[in-house]
Chains A and B, each alone.
Chain A
Amino acid sequence: MSSIGASLKDKFLNGALSITLMSVLFGFLRGGIILLLAGFNPLEAYGVILKGIFSRPKYVSYVIIYSTPLIITGLSVAFALRTGLFNIGAEGQYIMGALAAAAAGYYLKLPMVLHVFTAVGLAVIVAAFWGGLAGWFKARFGVNEVISTIMLNWTALYISNWAITIPSFGRQGTGKTYAIQPTAQIDILGQWKRTPEGIAFLREHPMLWDVLKSPVNLGFVFAILLAGLVWYVLNRTTLGYELRAVGHNPQAAEAGGISVKRSMVISMLFAGGLAGAAGAFQVLGVSHRIATLAIMEGYGFDGIAVSLIGNNSGPGCVFAGLLFGSLKYGGSKIQDVMGAPTEVINIMIGIIIFFVAMPKLIRMILAYRKRRERN
């Protein structure tokens, strides 16, 4: 009996899950200290955040909406990282994907389902090219992908801003493009919920109305499917094996008959396509248009953190993306309730993410304690 207890205790204290949970806890503790220093009651703040995430069905659906692009850009970064490439360019690939999806969604006139797949397909192709370009630069000329992808990010931002100035695409005076055709939208009941009949019906069904007040869409379903696809490709196919082999040890892989250069280009094509899909789902499901970007919006950069927290695995990115999305959505709620400035909120979120991303530290502390106990 006692041995079972001991093994349970051992599992709880040393298992991967408990380490993750503990690092989350540490993160929240540290985040709380920051809040306290800034003059806000951390318990009240966390209460507001929890309420802001879970207290209404609409909030939960917003968390999912916020998480969707982060999960997919996380997958993009994770995929490249498995081949030993650091894809900082997910941001730019996301922008190119969003641009392509907005253009395809607006200009093309196609039937419902076909339109969605065409728009997403085009977005994936354009963004895959954008990512693949960096891979090809690295393979052909030895240009470091970190540098080339950063530069491609800015190129993408300005291409997108320029495209919005095209009169037939951008709507005068709004800094945005025209909305995509209804056939390309992946919202659930998106059109109906704005009609007078829809509103009349929803008034009778407050629960459903609450959920539909957020732009609920199919993006999350696609994100889960993509996470499964990434896992399958990396772990169950020859191609995935080759890509991972290159990531582990390029020289050994080359000696084993795997073309390192080809793997780099393929990996970046995949990574780019994934980030592009993130942009496409955001446009088709949430924004329905793209806007002039004054600054980088950070979907791709947040993807780097998501990938790290998710341990560069498909399923890991789903959970990490949900965590990141809920912090991003729920965290902002302490602003209007408690008057906390965005800067404080960002520091808090940053600290929590920082701790979550380094369970290694917790492992070190545990090892240290064990050593002391032994002595």
Chain B
Amino acid sequence: MKKNRLALSAVLTLIFIAGLFAVGQAAKMRIAMVTDVGGVNDQSFNQSAWEGLKRAEKDFGAEVAYKESRQDADYAPNMETLTDAGYDLIWGIGFLMGDAIKETAEINPDQKYAIIDFSYGPETPKNVACAVFQEEEPSFLVGYIAGKMTKTNKVGFVGGIKFPLIEKFEYGYMAGVKLANPDAEVLRQYAESFTDAAKGKAITNNMYQQGADIVFHASGGVGDGVIEAAKEKGKWAIGVDKDQNFLAPDNVLTSAMKRVDNAIYDIGKRLMGGEFAGGDTVVYNLKNDGVGIAPTSNKHVPAEILKEVDGLVAKIKAGEIVVPATKDALDKF
């Protein structure tokens, strides 16, 4: 009997110690993300997301990991794998993961998820936070720069696949060009891909041949080809998502930055403070530094144009300018 009690107390002590360890580990925030098929080195928003997590690792010691998807059917199992690994928060990068996250969130009601670029509106599950961006705002600003700086009165836009998300870039850009230079023509083409750099290059070369001298892209990996074409032909390209100037320092005029990294960092930090926007949608725009133009813009864009851009930023923040994000809104702009 006595022996039994001794054994029991030993077991209890062990459980207690194990519990302490578990608590000690739980204090460390663990965040993981699932990329879309673009992969983590896409020079674009998947990479930006990963940079956001890396910053969270550095600043507040979060433990971070990523998992790449190779096809559409990988999204849900990747979510499941990370759910089993017991992360505090699991990110889905990109609206293509919308269905997968919702379905996974429904059968794992105790796990927190978040998604970039997608909002379920009122149907957002309680354990999912959505982060969306007003991409039309930075596109508008780079469009304004392009409209001011074109010498041929022709500029180009290369889109990835014609989703409404990419159209926000397209119409915001067109509005910017229109405001700066009503005579300028915008050549537009979609590459029907987010990965085919060769196609991006071919489209861009074609635009340069038609007389365009500045081409803006919102096309993920296709944009590598756009920037390469600019480099070879000695023309201008405008980057997207990240500051893409490093890809061709003399040919990337500016970049329409979508700070996916800021959003991911921000939501992670809020979670550290015990606050989680479950069931809600957080909108990132110029006001909260969720979007903007690249800091390297001052290398090639004259100071007076940048000053005008600053003026536009102030007007957008104040709500005096509402940047169009759709064709209808652009027609009225």
Contacts and interface: CB of A to CB of B under 8 A. Distances in A.
Contacts of A199: 107, 109
B68 A342 contact: yes
Contact of B77 (A62, A212, A294): A62
B244 to A, nearest CB: 20
A231 to B, nearest CB: 27
Interface residues of B, number: 40
A38 to B, nearest CB: 15
B195 interface: yes
B106 interface: yes
Nearest to A293: B72
Contact of B192 (A161, A282, A286): A161
Interface of A: 52, 56, 58, 62, 65-66, 158, 161, 165, 172-176, 179, 193-194, 199, 212-215, 282, 286-287, 289, 291-295, 297-298, 329, 332-333, 335-337, 339, 341-342
Interface stretch (B17-25, B162-170, B279-287, B292-300): B162-170
Contact of B73 (A165, A193, A286, A342): A286
Nearest to B194: A294
Contacts of A335: 66-68
B84 A291 contact: no
B107 A213 contact: yes
Contacts of B65: 336-337, 339
A139 B96 CA distance: 41
A173 B95 contact: yes
B50 to A, nearest CB: 11
Contacts of B67: 332, 335-336
Given A65-B77, A161-B192, A193-B107, 19 more contacts: A58-B84, A62-B80, A66-B77, A173-B163, A174-B99, A175-B96, A194-B103, A194-B106, A194-B107, A199-B107, A213-B80, A215-B76, A282-B73, A292-B161, A297-B70, A332-B70, A336-B81, A336-B85, A342-B39
Contacts of A175: 95-96, 161, 163
Contact of A336 (B82, B99, B164): B82
Contacts of B161: 161, 175, 292, 294
Interface in B1-41: 32, 37, 39-40
